[in-house]
Every structure is written in C-alpha cells, then in structure tokens.
Amino acid sequence: MLGIGYGMGVFVHQVQRVLPAQSSSGASAPVPPGTEYASVRELGEQMARPGGLTSANLVSYLQERIHKLDPKLSSIIELNPEALQIARELDLERANGKVRGPLHGIPVLLKDTIETGDTQQTSAGAFGLVGSAAPKDAFIVERLREQGAVILGKTNLTELAGFRGGPDGSSGRGGQTRNPHQAGAEVGGSSSGSAAAVAAGFAPLAVGTETNGSIIVPAAFNGVVGFKPGVGLLSRSGIIPASHRQDTPGPMTRSVFDAALMLNAMSGKDPHDAASVDAPQGIDYTALLKPGALQDKRIGYPVTFSANGESLPVDNSPQFRKTLEVLRAQGAVLVPVDMRLADASRYGELLYADVKDELNDYLAKREGLPVKSVSELIAFNEKRDGTDTDHQPTLKEINASTLTADERQPLWDAMIEDFRGTVDELIAQENLDAMVSDFDTNSYFAVAVAGYPGISVPSGKNEDGVPTSAYFFGARGSEPTLLAVGHGYEQAAQKVAKPSL
C-alpha cells in the first residue's frame, strides 16, 4: 500500500474535506472529563457500568471535538456519516448482553488508503481517486467491524502516501496536517493524519499504513505509539498498494496495550493476500504485556547514531541516553552493537517500478474513478492544477520506470536478504531479544526493507517541546516480544505527552 515516510517538493491544492454537520444526538448524557484521552480498557469499563458511557455518547463527543479543533490541524479528511447510528446499534447489543470484544463500541480512524464499503471515499487524499466508493471493506476493516469497532472516519495523509511528491502530511483533499504539539513542527509522513488525530484526542485508535517509515515516522513526531508489523501479519487486501514486498497496515494508538488489542482484532488469514496465508494465527498480543517484561531481556543498541549524515556517539543524544537508562533500571541487559549498512543504491529505482505496476493494476480494477492508470492520474492533476509548477515529481518518476517484474525480482531478493542480514546477524551473534534505537538513526528504513516488525514508543520531548521516540525492532516473528519490551519501557518511562491544543 502507498506509504513512504518523507515526501519532496511543494504543491498547493484546493482543500476539500468532508465533515458532516455537527450532531448533538447522543450528547445529552455527560461524558466524563478526559474521556478523549481514555484507553480502550478505560472506555470499556465505563461502557460496562449501568447508566455509564455509551458508544453513541462517545462518538458524538469526539465528532464535536473534531469539528471544534481539527480545522487547526486538518488531520481528518472525512467523517463517517453512519458512525453515530452504528454506535447506537452496538449500544443496543451491549444492553442485550452481547459484547463482541474489547473494541466493542470503540471509535477507530482509518488512513484514506484503506477501503470501506460504505459512503466514504478511499482516495489517498487525491482528487483523481474521488468517485464511486469502494465496493467492500478491506479485510482488516471487516475484522475491526466484527470486533465491534466503530469506523469514525478517514484521516489525512501525504497525498498518494508520498508518491505524488509534496510536503509531509499535505494532500489535495485534506490540506496540510499540523502537529498538535506545535503547529510548525514536523508532522511526518505519510500516515500523518492518523498520528495527529490520535495525539489530539480525536479517537483512541487509528490505522496507518507503511511501505517505509509511514507509520514509525509520524508516530514519533506526534508522540504516539506506532506499530509496524512484519509484512504479511496483517492483510493488505482492500488497501491502495505500493509494493507487496514492504506494504503493511498497522496500529497507531496512545499506548502499547491498545496497539496489541488492535493487532488481535485485525490479524487473521486472508486468502486474497498470499503473504498472510502463513502468518501466525490465534496469538494474543497482550499476553506478554506484564510487569517485569524487561527483566533480563538482552537489548542491542547502536553505539553511534546518524545526525545530518554524520555518525555521532550515542552520548550526543540526550533523549536516547535517557531511554537506555530506563531500560537498564528495569533489568534489561544492554548490548552495544555496530549495525552495518546494507546496499540501498537501487532501492528507489526498484520501489518506483513496483509502485507503477501495482498502482496501475489497482486503478485499472477500481470502478467509478476518474482515472484508470498512473499516466491518466498525472494528466488529471495537470488539468486540475496547471503545469506552471512541477507539483507531482515523484509520480512522474514512477511513471517513467522501465524495469520489468522479471528484472526486478533477483535485485529485490538480494537487497531484502542483505537488509535482513543487518538485523539477523546481530540478534544471532549477541543472542538479543530486540534492538532499540532513536528513530532518527533511520534504522526504521532497514527494518522496512527487511519486512520486519518495529514499534515507536514516546520517550518525552526535546528542548523545543517536540515529541521524541524510542524505536524497538527485531527479526521476523518478534511482534509479541517487541510489544512486551515496548510496553515495559512505556510503563517505566511514562512519557506520553498530551498536546495543549
């Protein structure tokens, strides 16, 4: 699915955000102060009490909060006009003794690359993909609905998830997403709106997508938890694609525990996604999230980190130094390592060729859109936005790609194997349970190319008041361990920060 961490260039589009009229229905019952930052567990406990919070109350409360505050942030591209009615139906189920699971009645936001079989658009923020709604839910959306989640709306993003070329967090339909901690701070891409909305208390849960950095980077900049599963753990069917070798959806939440709950809900075998067929099934990703999870865990960390292209000692990063202190105090065994760099010299060329083939295939099959191919999308944008400025440089590079699938396959195989080695070698040599770094080391890039899992956990704020993050990653299949390590760090550090808005 589309989703690369950073965009390039500058472009300006007319903003078209779809926020239905504010509704007071269901808002008569008082909503406790601070509910906008309550965890899933806390919300479930409130809903379980006789006469307590209802899903309809919560949805209406969040809709009103979005109407009031999101004009400053542009994190939401479209609200689901059916959300309140769905919430009422789920409240009725609860009243009749049926509770589907921990997410029953809990609002969830989806990145605007994830299909929903309702009235909402799935456009990746692009006017060229606005037309008929998708015919059905993406697999992960089906799973969320089955578990009782309420799809609250779609979030803004870097247009075409960074593959058009433009500022992080900016799209034609949604405008420029702002960081809720500081309007002028970096917001990250491409799952910008999902991260900003969760940080701003617009929903407890959101789903982002990543090809390379698009969950981890905005989660770090906006001070929320972002979990990128290993490729194949969560189905990609029904999500606008980029490269099947790296694409994955993932949770964006305010706590590691809530991210684990979302993994429980969204995981499952999907016959329409070959990569998910052999993925582990039936795992409770909350099972290892217990006190003492860090005791005796062997965690590797890079002895240098990269800043502005220069390798510097870890001691030059005060935030990362504090992260190591917290881990050590919780009983973790910290192991300094030298993480080698794999050869990424042809990465962009290979990725763009994948995007061209996979996006062309998606557009050709999607009914009711103004365009049926990448070249038609470029022409559509030129007609709409003019040609005075090169406002879609990345999309043009993608369309100019000439590498065939047969030519790419051995090159991709060699590159992915090399990047996997950068993680596997260290874990095997040092008998590590996980690795930790500052996300600014760009270690997320290597993890993404390898198709391995990683999690961004808030680590506080820097001297400018902007969120910082610790990034934990590991080898294939290490999701349960990473969640346990991330949760242990989170509980000890207590660094989640609420923006003042």
- The pLDDT of residue 305 is 62
**Helix, strand, or coil (residue 215):** coil
Query: How much is the mean pLDDT over the chain?
Result: 93
Helices H / strands E in the chain, number of each: 14, 15
pLDDT confidence of residue 339:
87
- Mark 86-104 as b/e (b = at least 16 C-beta within 10 Å): bbbebbebbeeeeebebbb
Taking only the tens place, the pLDDT of each residue in 448-464 is 999 999 999 999 999 89
- pTM listed for this prediction: 0.95
Helix (H, G, I), strand (E, B) or coil at 254: coil
Q: For 46-63, give one letter per residue: b (16+ CB within 10 A) or e.
A: bbeeeeebbbbbbbbbbb
Q: Which residues pair with 300 in a beta bridge?
A: 335, 435
- Angle (CA) 468-472-473 rounded to 5° is 140
Longest dimension (CA), the chain: 63
What residue segments make up the domains of the chain, in order of their start? 35-283
DSSP secondary structure of 342-401: P--TTHHHHHHHHHHHHHHHHHHHSTT-S-SSHHHHHHHHHHHH-SSS---HHHHHHHT-
**How many Å apart are CA 40 and CA 256, to the nearest integer?**
11
What phi and psi values does residue 81 have, to the nearest 5 degrees? -65, -15
Q: What is the pLDDT of residues 217-264, one digit of tens each?
A: 999 999 999 999 999 999 999 999 999 999 999 999 999 999 999 999
Q: Structure tokens of 495? A: 């660094």
Digit-coded pLDDT (tens) for 400-444: 999 999 999 999 999 999 999 999 999 999 999 999 998 777 789
41-74 residue pLDDT tens? 999 999 999 999 999 999 999 999 999 999 999 9
Backbone angles phi, psi at 209, to 5 degrees: -135, 155
Asked whether 444 and 473 are in contact (CB, 8 A), the reply is yes
For the cut 90, the answer to whether the pLDDT of residue 210 exceeds it is yes
The structure tokens listed for 16 are: 């078209």
What's the CATH number for 35-283? 3.90.1300.10
Residue-level pLDDT at 28: 42
Q: Which of 55, 60, 74, 111 is catalytic?
A: 111
Nearest to 195 by CA among 372, 184, 290, 210: 210
Report the alpha-carbon distance of residue 442 to residue 8 in Å, rounded: 17
User: Given a cut of 80, is residue 313 above it in pLDDT?
Assistant: no
Q: Say what percent of the chain tops pLDDT 70.
A: 93
Separation CA 453–CA 215 (nearest Å):
11
Catalytic-role residue among 55, 75, 214, 255 = 214
Nearest by Cα to 2 from 240, 301, 229: 240
23: pLDDT strictly greater than 80: no
Active site residue 214: yes
For residues 39 and 204, give the distance between their C-alpha atoms in angstroms, rounded to a whole number: 7
pLDDT by residue (tens digit) across 143-176? 999 999 999 999 999 999 999 999 999 999 999 9
Among 55, 60, 171, 190, the one annotated catalytic: 190
